[in-house]
Structure 1
Amino acid sequence: MTHANASLTPTGRLRLARCVVDDGWPLRAAAARFQVSPTTAQRWARRYREHGPAGMTDRSSRPHHSPARTPAPIEAHVLAMRRAHRIGPARLATRAGIAPSTAHRILIRHGEPVLACLDRATGEPVRRYERDQPGELVHIDVKKLARIPDGGGHKTLGRPTGRTNRNGAGYAYIHTALDDHSRLAYSEILPNETAATCAGFLRRATAWFTAHGVRVHRVLTDNAWAYTKNTWHTTCADLGIQPRHTRPWRPQTNGKVERFHRTLTDEWAYHQPYTTDTARCDAYPDWLDWYNYHRPHTALGGHPPAHRVTNLPEQHI
């Protein structure tokens, strides 16, 4: 590949060099003919004499010697800390006693991926996947959320008062079914996560997806107690759905619905202070409608999930 600021392509360089070496042109005459400096003309003529046509390509500008380069033991220390603690250049620089820019260059030099591309739990590169059609795989999970006592919790009253105001408010269980291809989500706030509750949620979620033109083929859950019982497997069989489970201790396999729960936590559950749990629950359907039909999704090119489920005849058959 030719350098972006090069005046001549390899073919032009070869023509210039042949004019000087083979045809005997003066350097200044050849330089004027090809609109380059005499120094440039001399460089390509010299390389042509030494290497022939193969010498007309760009060479690396990297120096042969770098006496000021960071010593190898420090580089090894930086890389070891990165892999052990998964921290960025600024924190690595503080621990290693070097500049953040130096730590960044070390990471780049050794091909270390950015932290956003690594799995938080294992440090391994994230392997992303997406099903080709809606309904091929639906992720299901439950988010446990502390209920808000009357008068408000710590978001409204502050942490010391909010803790004493709990009075056994309990928890709400947000059950979510999220389509892998479109990220379309069906979600309910339920009082528990028993096997019967999870099975009833699956029936309602399947009916909702069917009404939106999506035939559910498989569901993926973690290994929670309710998803391993006969009630769950019998319900899946009645609906013609194949149940699948994630590997133990690998929640990232169900990462799409886990990310949805993080989004609802930031944008709905703790987005504003609520004085009652009823007020927060009443706001959830509107937020869910916003998520499905209006909220731009970065994984979908800025389109909402419903953009991939348009109900056009035979679009996803």
Structure 2
Amino acid sequence: MSHANAALTPRARLRLARLVVDRQWTYAAAAKMFMVAPRTAKKWADRYRAEGVEGMTDRSSRPHSSPTRTSPDLVRRIVRLRWRQRLGPVQIAGRLGMQSSTVHAVLVRCRINRLCRIDRVTGEPLRRYEHPHPGAMIHVDVTKFANIPDGGGHRYLGRIQGKANARATAHRTGQRGNHYRPAIGTAFVHTVIDDHSRLAYAEICADEKAATAIGVLQRAVAWFAEHGITVERVLSDNGSCYRSYAWRDACKDLAITPKHTRPYRPQTNGKIERFHRTLADGWAYARL
């Protein structure tokens, strides 16, 4: 495909070549009309004579051979250091005794030049996915946020003032824990997010029991239906509320196929895990 600043597109090349070959225009006259050099007009005319219309398309500029290209064995060593040790181009170049620009070119060619594309745990390239249409898959999970005492907590006021506010709140509510410590409580936020559209639904609940999770799912499915989304599958972790028979039966009643992530593999449910981080930074603990 021609670049944005190309003087001639494939169609213009064909017109130029036909003026020279079919209408017997001189190279100079045809070149003047299309504002290119006579040598360019000759090149396209000669190619039209030899190959016809097919010769007007762009050709690859890749060389037939690259003698100085990085060897496959060296590429594997670079990729191995990148995957396993998450080293940058300068560190890899120092270990292998080569130029950092060459290492960077290899990383770009292998599409691992950014560390965000490499899994932190396994060191393997991330395999990102997205279901084809809204409702094909929804993600569910529960995140916990500590309730904030009256006047603010320690996150922004410091430990001393935060504890003082917690004691004042406990004195007002009468909620105490072990050793008469203030019990501010925990908010269980049940979240549901559509895999394709990222449309999210969330509820603040008092627990994460199966009955609570099922109620959230039922209300979320109805809410998605109001927005024209029919839920087909639901993906969750292996929490007790999602492994229960009640959850399985509720999904069956809603005509939804339940799916579970691999144990100790939260990355599979990474879309909703990232949404929890957004909730924490932009809502739960945001400084107003």
Matches within 5 A, 1:162-241: 171-180=186-195, 183-190=199-206, 192-193=207-208, 197-203=209-215, 205-207=217-219, 210=222, 213-214=225-226, 219-233=234-248, 240=254
CA 1:29–1:85: 2 relative to 1, 3 Å? same
In the alignment, the residues of structure 2 paired with residue 227 and residue 107 of structure 1 have an alpha-carbon distance, to the nearest angstrom, of 40
CA 1:100–1:6: 2 relative to 1, 3 Å? farther
In the alignment, the residues of structure 2 paired with residue 264 and residue 254 of structure 1 have an alpha-carbon distance, to the nearest angstrom, of 16
Report what 1:126 is aligned to: 128
Number of paired residues?
259
Q: TM-score, normalised by structure 2?
A: 0.64
The alpha-carbon deviation at position 262 of structure 1 amounts to 1.9
Report what 1:302 is aligned to: none
In the alignment, the residues of structure 2 paired with residue 18 and residue 95 of structure 1 have an alpha-carbon distance, to the nearest angstrom, of 56
Report what 1:140 is aligned to: 140
Unpaired runs of at least 5, structure 1: 274-317
Residues 1:155 and 2:155 aligned together: yes
**Alpha-carbon contact 1:206-1:216 (below 8 Å) kept:** no
The alpha-carbon deviation at position 106 of structure 1 amounts to 2.3
CA 1:100–1:174: 2 relative to 1, 3 Å? farther
The alpha-carbon deviation at position 42 of structure 1 amounts to 3.7
Candidates 89, 93, 101, aligned match of 1:96: 93
Report what 1:257 is aligned to: 272
Q: Pairwise CA RMSD of aligned residues?
A: 4.5
In the alignment, the residues of structure 2 paired with residue 212 and residue 106 of structure 1 have an alpha-carbon distance, to the nearest angstrom, of 45
Unpaired runs of at least 5, structure 2: 167-180
CA 1:37–1:147: 2 relative to 1, 3 Å? same
**Alpha-carbon contact 1:177-1:185 (below 8 Å) kept:** yes
**Alpha-carbon contact 1:247-1:253 (below 8 Å) kept:** yes
**DSSP 3-state at the match of 1:107:** helix
The alpha-carbon deviation at position 185 of structure 1 amounts to 0.3
The alpha-carbon deviation at position 130 of structure 1 amounts to 4.9
**Amino acid in structure 2 at the alignment position of 1:227:** Y
**Alpha-carbon contact 2:235-2:258 (below 8 Å) kept:** yes
Determine what percentage of the aligned residue pairs are the same residue: 39
Report what 1:269 is aligned to: 284
The alpha-carbon deviation at position 144 of structure 1 amounts to 2.9
